[in-house]
Chains A and B, each alone.
Chain A
């Protein structure tokens, strides 16, 4: 799995949020003041390289106290989409390619 790239699309429901993306405790990305562009349903897409052997990807919104963990097997998906639902729960979807936005 070394060097496998993953596209993380931070999609719906972000509104001035701070987002941390970790794999196995390693901070891969830290984003400030993230807001969804509602006309396309996407805030930002982050490309990360997955370290070898790591099995869990976490996306955290520390200011809202919510997070989601995605299990990574030997063939992780190429794309993960994360949205913030009402009540601040994170929803996650995955696939081999990001969906289209318009």
Chain B
């Protein structure tokens, strides 16, 4: 499919047109099985294996189009060098641009990066089965993938979606933007559908691009099921055969192909299903992993030592491990993992519980569940309780993930949840979790595709980490014991960019938290991952620093509040990870788990609604304001919660603007107008002036005395070490003669000689940490 830059007729979306479309969030009708069967028949095996899929022309079941999600494609035929035209200069002006770009120049081509790629494939995931409200894209050249991005979107109109790009993989300059605005257009025939995306933000020139519809599925995959002669193969079940099931579970014959279609895959069969003679396993008829790998190479019609969107599933009777192994993704052997799985129909999965009301149906269901589970491993899905990174696990998840030990997913053991398998199947809808669907549909291809990323070593960032800049380590840590933060107190992460090379390295001295090249992802255990965005970015002349081997640049990042709001306001567990571009290469951090505790008092609950506002977050982030009275009133109330670290942060935020002459612009209506003003206007306008408000040492002293209360550890940790080291001199500066016991500055950042390091009543460990960090803070 090719797009021509000129002469593309894009149907502009108008409220009238949108209103004429049928509802986009209607459920997929039951006749989709007919549609999917026809798509599979038309597409063919070769097309299923290739990313260069020919467009799948769907015959939409009545009543007309309801699903817009799927795969869309752009292929560039732009000459080199590319010439882009501002969209608004084109005649006729065809594209309706988002209102948020009203004053911005938007081009009809990617002026920033089009020389790096010629093709872009989009996965639109906003409706249909289990929508994840994501849009992702892969930009590639003739031979290689240049970059991959993922945006989390919300619906802004009947056919429009908008949201931030929260994940990028690959060359940073290939995806410079930070936001997408998408519009779907077209009629009931899927092939007529178009997707227009406007990319903006990130300091790059905005551009708009239109993609052609390819498929209602995100990716294509092929299955082959072989059976050993003495085994039972279960590739479909009747969902109502067993009485223990959710009351809302539809009655249907559910196949493994349908399970994965609902996960977003265009599933086809290779047509090579066979029965394997029993003597292949040897005299004992039990299978070893190596024997299964050999059988895969012999009997699988698609075997090749290369990544492919195709996999082999063997139904055998028993593994050499015995009755306790119901199935295994055995293919962590050789150069290309995850191409084969096996299910052992004679293992424990064939033994129903005593007294089960429908034992035959129970067995069929367990064999079916095991097959879908093992096949999920071939897609590089980990067990539900293994999602989060751990020093005791060999790989890393692709984004910060939280464990899902209670998930009603194919990837969780039914007998591991409270209440056991009975409780699991009573609440199981034969699906994957949202985090798993996000991965399968939107993660970079190589993380998911069979035979590509090694097993478990890229259910993530690990694969990307192979390209991590080896000269540096980006280390995240938290000072809160066990990573547990009190409710209301915004969590702070300590970041260190460490020189791990053998020689000195020159790095930018810009604060880590302020850099546009830092992407910090917050992934809640319940909810969607999101990128932390700082309230402020400073634009200043770059100051460089030299890091000797082992030396680090430090910063504190108040991840609890940012431009997106209070990302960690809700009690729960969050996984945090970051990537920083240094010298054109990414440096991936470790992952840290952060727990936000629930409120412990009514006072905390009452304050939450007022505290968790953008204004208060901003005031905390910028060290206070004398002009934002409402926010200051909330912080004054927070002072009362003396056993909560928020009271200490509030004290600092109130005290800091009181510690120096603070300028505010005021309006004096009684002041006479100047001659220039009189000449310009016939009306009497108030005179503006800049007034300076003197520091208030007494108030600062009282606030800080209360915040430190003889020991400053809690204050220092609540602020973050680097931030404390920067801000303490400002506060100490107003208290020339009476620095409270709880406050001091360190030699490295003292603005006045008399403020040298003194008797700061912090723990020895904290003092050592502060001394270590004082010499190397970001500017």
Contact = CB atoms under 8 A, between A and B. Distances in A.
Interface string A32-74: 0001111111000100000000000000000000000000000
Contact of B390 (A13, A101, A102): A13
B455 A101 contact: no
Interface in B298-331: 321, 324-329
A37 B289 CA distance: 12
B393 interface: yes
Interface string B518-552: 00000000000000000000000000000000000
B327 A102 contact: yes
A40 B456 CA distance: 12
Contact of B325 (A13, A15, A102): A102
Interface string A63-102: 0000000000000000000001110100000000011111
B377 interface: yes
B347 interface: yes
Nearest to A85: B392
Interface in B390-442: 390-395, 413, 415-416
Nearest to B369: A102
B776 to A, nearest CB: 30
B386 interface: yes
Contacts of B374: 102
Nearest to B593: A86
B326 A15 contact: no
Contacts of B413: 41, 99-100, 102
A86 B394 CA distance: 13
Contact of A102 (B326, B385, B386, B392): B326
Contact of B382 (A35, A38, A98, A102): A38
A40 B392 contact: no
A31 B206 CA distance: 59
A38 B456 contact: yes
B349 interface: yes
Given A39-B332, A39-B456, A101 B394 contact: no
A100 B328 CA distance: 11
Give the size range of A's interface with the partner. 20 to 34
A98 B351 CA distance: 14
Given A38-B456, A39-B456, A41-B383, A15 B393 contact: yes
Q: Could you tell me the dominant secondary structure of chain B's interface residues?
A: loop
A98 B322 CA distance: 11
B393 A101 contact: no
Contacts of A40: 325, 328
B130 interface: no
B116 interface: no
A12 B403 CA distance: 14
B69 interface: no
A86 B395 CA distance: 14
Nearest to A100: B348
Contact of B392 (A37, A41, A84): A84
A102 B415 contact: no
B455 A39 contact: yes
A36 B385 CA distance: 14
A30 B342 CA distance: 30
B152 interface: no
Contacts of A38: 382-383, 386, 393-395, 456
Interface string B641-671: 0000000000000000000000000000000
A38 B416 CA distance: 16
Contacts of A100: 324-326, 347-349, 413, 415
B328 A102 contact: yes
A15 B324 contact: no
Contacts of B370: 102
Given A38-B386, A86-B391, A99 B324 contact: yes
Nearest to A35: B394
Contacts of B321: 45, 101
Given A38-B456, A39-B455, A100-B349, A15 B332 contact: no
Given A86-B391, A99-B416, 10 more contacts: A12-B386, A13-B392, A13-B393, A38-B394, A38-B395, A39-B329, A39-B332, A40-B325, A100-B326, A102-B373
9 contacts: A13-B390, A15-B392, A38-B456, A41-B413, A100-B348, A101-B324, A101-B325, A101-B328, A102-B325
Please name the 8 residue pairs, one residue from A and one from B, whose CB atoms are nearest each other, closest first. A13-B392, A100-B348, A102-B326, A102-B327, A39-B329, A98-B324, A100-B326, A39-B377
Interface of B: 321, 324-329, 332, 347-349, 370, 373-374, 377, 382-383, 385-386, 390-395, 413, 415-416, 455-456
